Structure 1
């Protein structure tokens, strides 16, 4: 085979692989099209508790850290600011509208080491479990920049009411 022939074969394989990746992502976005992020602002009168900067990593199917969801606004990794209010959590992701998750929809917060396309030191990620508008349970992962993942998890845990903790324990969901 000539050098030009080998180059054409390699180029054809590369184009086919990129095509398969695009096809896979389009199928994923179609599958997840019914899932929506809660865009909006914190209710007026909300009290700011803390702010964290870092990296938004992914939102996945609850309990499956390797199954990324293609939800508009949460589909891609981005620089982010996490704003904790007494009424919930606001996510300011670079290039996206603000997402506000009311405290009633936050189920659990803890630390993690691995999720889709990201492995860090032990407990280097903050994972929080929450409900989308249609009551689908999802896990979102963050990598805090200027603080520990434990500090962000603790700030999120402060939003979880004792009623939510009791319900989680009763159902055996140890997020």
Structure 2
């Protein structure tokens, strides 16, 4: 039997969000409209053979996304997600959900949180394979030096999301010098 998933589109301050839910109301995918091909590729891995139909997500889910963008940083915390991944990936995604809004973690801290402190690159790869952006908050992972690093939705969007949640993010010292924000006395 083919599973039917619903694709909803929600306008946000940082672009339209694509929200995919199943008949039970679990979130199967969430991404930004400019990254729809990536979302579809990941969804194909997590829900192979599913049929995607346009429609409206359940009000509880849709409302949580709207409340998040209206300023309620914890609005997504209780949403149910359903993904398929390796044991390591699902552990990383669970660790991501444990990062509170307004806080960040480095990739090293993320790897340590899943009991594999030397698997920093693997944690980064699992982070990048997350099909449920925002709810599984991969944007809360930053570089070891406190600077922004890659984000599938783009660094400007990542910067906005972190600021929206009240997280402090540093600018690399090299960039601060280039921007004239600090002066060296050497």
Report TM bin, short chain. Answer: under 0.3
- Of structures 1 and 2, the larger Rg is shown by 1
Tell me which protein shows more helix as a share of its residues. 2
What TM-score, normalized to structure 1?
Answer: 0.25
Structure with more contact order per residue of length (Cα contacts < 8 Å, sep ≥ 6): 1
What TM-score, normalized to structure 2?
Answer: 0.24
